[in-house]
Amino acid sequence: MTSYIRYRSASVASYGILDGDTVREIRGDLFGSHAETGATHPLSSVSLLCPCQPGKIMAVGLNYKSHLGNRPQPSHPEMFYKAVTALQDPGGPIVIPRDATDVHYEGELVLVMGRQVKNVSHDEAGAAIFGVTCGNDVSERNWQHGQGKDLQWWRAKGCDTFAPLGPAIATGIDYGNLLLQTRLNGEVVQKQSTADLVFDCAAIVSWVSGWVTLMPGDAIYTGTPGSTRRLAPGDVVEVEIERIGLLRNPVTAG
């Protein structure tokens, strides 16, 4: 297993390998040819950034059995887009936007693509995933399906700061049985294994690739388990997935 991070040190953004409390700097293409420079930094001395810079962000709805409840299971992954400008760094604030009344967290496993794929099989899709990280698919429920529902989820899912991502991309692990926990102000509010996914990681990538070409660095949020709650300014949300790390974001008013 290797954990890759993106960080800022002395106003310069770099990629690195996380080794305990030490960051080993790398240069080159994260998804291609890269090498360690020999430079190291204490983790405490750098600012973590989103671990990749995706060209697009996609997400799956209704993809945990525990989240479906009494609703019928979809016949295929139900996809939607999140704006790239919704990305938020580990530690950065989730900002409740103007006129929002019902903003919720959604702790999720996020796939990061490692190669370009189009029309790939399940096995080919699995081999094309570079690694996984933690994400929070922040959602405004009123704009999503309440009285103030928009025609599309462009702001319900895509407002600035509605896509926290990180802290690291974990590679070389089995994505199929990882414990995901979301905590709100220290209370565990979501707890489920990724074994509960309706469509596994490779199935999602294979399905999407039938219509949309996926590129290295693209991110796919794979769905949230159980139920969710409303956020308020002053809250702190943590999404932790075993073997990956902990994504922590405070909540502020816009």
Q: Is the pTM of this model over 0.95?
A: yes
Which bin fits 159, alpha (ψ -120 to 50), beta or left (φ > 0)? Answer: beta
**CATH number of the domain encompassing residue 12:** 2.30.30.370
Mean pLDDT value of segment 91-101: 98
For residues 246 and 120, what is the distance between their CA atoms, to the nearest angstrom?
A: 31
Lowest mean pLDDT among 54-63, 69-78, 110-119, 186-195: 69-78
Between the alpha carbon of residue 194 and those of residues 1, 27, 162, the distances in Å are 18, 32, 22
Mean pLDDT value of segment 116-126: 98
- pLDDT higher for 222 or 11? 222
Task: Say if residue 38 is in the same domain as residue 55.
Answer: no
pLDDT at residue 163 in the model:
99
* Model confidence band, residue 213 (pLDDT cutoffs 50, 70, 90): very high
Structure-token pair, residue 21: 């409390």
Task: Say if residue 124 is in the same domain as residue 204.
Answer: yes
**CATH number of the domain encompassing residue 96:** 3.90.850.10
Give the β-pairing of 87-88 and 245-253: unpaired
pLDDT at residue 223 in the model:
97
Mean pLDDT value of segment 198-221: 98
Q: Which domain holds residue 166?
A: 50-253
Task: Say if residue 62 is in the same domain as residue 116.
Answer: yes
* Model confidence band, residue 65 (pLDDT cutoffs 50, 70, 90): confident
| Number of structural domains found in the chain | 2
